[in-house]
Amino acid sequence: MKLLITGGCGFIGSHFIRHVPVHDSVVNVDALTYAGSLANVAGLPGEFVHADIADARTMEDLMAKHSFDAVINFAAESHVDRSIDSPRHFIHTNVLGTSVLLDCARRHGVKRFVQISTDEVYGSLGPEGRFTETSPLNPSSPYSASKAGADMLALAYHKTYGMETLVARCSNNYGSRQFPEKLIPRMILHALRNQPLPVYGDGRHVRDWIHVEDHCRALLAVLREGKAGEIYNIGGDAERENLAIVKMILARLGKPESLIRHVADRPGHDRRYAIDATKIRETLGWKPIHNLENGIAETVDWYLAHQDWWSAA
């Protein structure tokens, strides 16, 4: 297969490229904004194109040049706090950019289009239950609203034009090469510097965590075997309170819990996410293989061993 991977210099996109079989070819499009880095794909095969996915002329020329079998759209602005401060940047990339990609892919006969989404489009859960693919969308932030809009566009292109579009909604990822604005790398780096670890509110917001490599294995299954027009929830079956994650990191580093500082909660902070991944497990035979505690330990150790990577981030 010839794959157009957008956002391939970011955290999840660069890991996905590492999982692409050697007999497939990759063109990686990335705008190289603050969270994307060529260092993440150094030494990996494939062609790199420095471009914004919302640049219709460039995307049109790119798809005219290559006969892509599939587009996997990782490109996104993804940090909730930044979306609260500047929503229009999220609309530009996440909504307009997805629209441009879908339109170009349709005109150039791209067979498959996988839209990478998030469980945040579902909003907040109470203490019980899990999100299924049929849960109503109820986004709480400009970020999650922009991702919900992109999802709806992708699904509409299947219904309207018959395109083989698919949507994959995943829970919180962790692993190596994640930009330090996210919870786990941020807490690791603060602890390494003996700086206070800022935790929103009471720290008891619950997230379902999944190792990025498990996510990438799931996405390959969706790409190759998923049913067009369908949504696939991807979760690690590892719900933990944010405070528990922070304490795991401190324990691995041998740092005191007195470094934790509770700060004012952010606006619209969803209380709990939990993913029901029954559909992808039963229909595509995927399941996560990483244990959360071991995965967190390995992630902490990676940041310890790669100061050259994060000191430049």
Contact call for residues 220 and 210 (beta carbons, < 8 A): no
Residue-level pLDDT at 313: 58
- Model pTM? 0.95
Number of domain units in the chain: 2
Residue-level pLDDT at 312: 65
Residue-level pLDDT at 78: 77
> Between the CA of residue 118 and those of 136, 193, 206, what are the distances in Å?
14, 31, 15
Measured distance CA(212)–CA(62) in Å, rounded: 28
Domain harbouring 123, CATH code: 3.40.50.720
Whole domain around residue 300: which residue ranges? Answer: 180-207+238-272+292-310
Do 261 and 227 belong together in one domain? no
Q: Which helix (H) or strand (E) holds 244?
A: helix 242-253
> Between the CA of residue 232 and those of 135, 168, 266, what are the distances in Å?
12, 5, 29
Q: Is residue 46 domain-resident?
A: yes
Q: Is residue 284 domain-resident?
A: no
Q: Is residue 39 domain-resident?
A: yes
Residue 155: CA count within 13 A, CB half-sphere: 15
Measured distance CA(213)–CA(71) in Å, rounded: 19
Do 186 and 109 belong together in one domain? no
Domain harbouring 264, CATH code: 3.90.25.10
Residue 150: CA count within 13 A, CB half-sphere: 37
Do 142 and 188 belong together in one domain? no
Do 189 and 299 belong together in one domain? yes
Work out whether the CA dihedral 50, 152, 129, 281 comes out positive or negative: negative
Do 135 and 259 belong together in one domain? no
Measured distance CA(159)–CA(150) in Å, rounded: 15
Q: Is residue 78 domain-resident?
A: yes
Q: Is residue 74 domain-resident?
A: yes
Contact call for residues 295 and 172 (beta carbons, < 8 A): no
Do 112 and 249 belong together in one domain? no
The residues annotated with a catalytic role in the active site are 119-120, 143
Block mean pLDDT (10 aa), the chain, length 313: 97 97 95 91 95 97 97 89 86 96 98 97 93 96 94 98 98 95 95 96 96 98 98 97 98 98 92 96 98 97 91 68
Do 32 and 13 belong together in one domain? yes
Q: Is residue 286 domain-resident?
A: no
Q: Is residue 140 domain-resident?
A: yes
Longest dimension (CA), the chain: 57
Q: Is residue 113 domain-resident?
A: yes
Do 29 and 69 belong together in one domain? yes
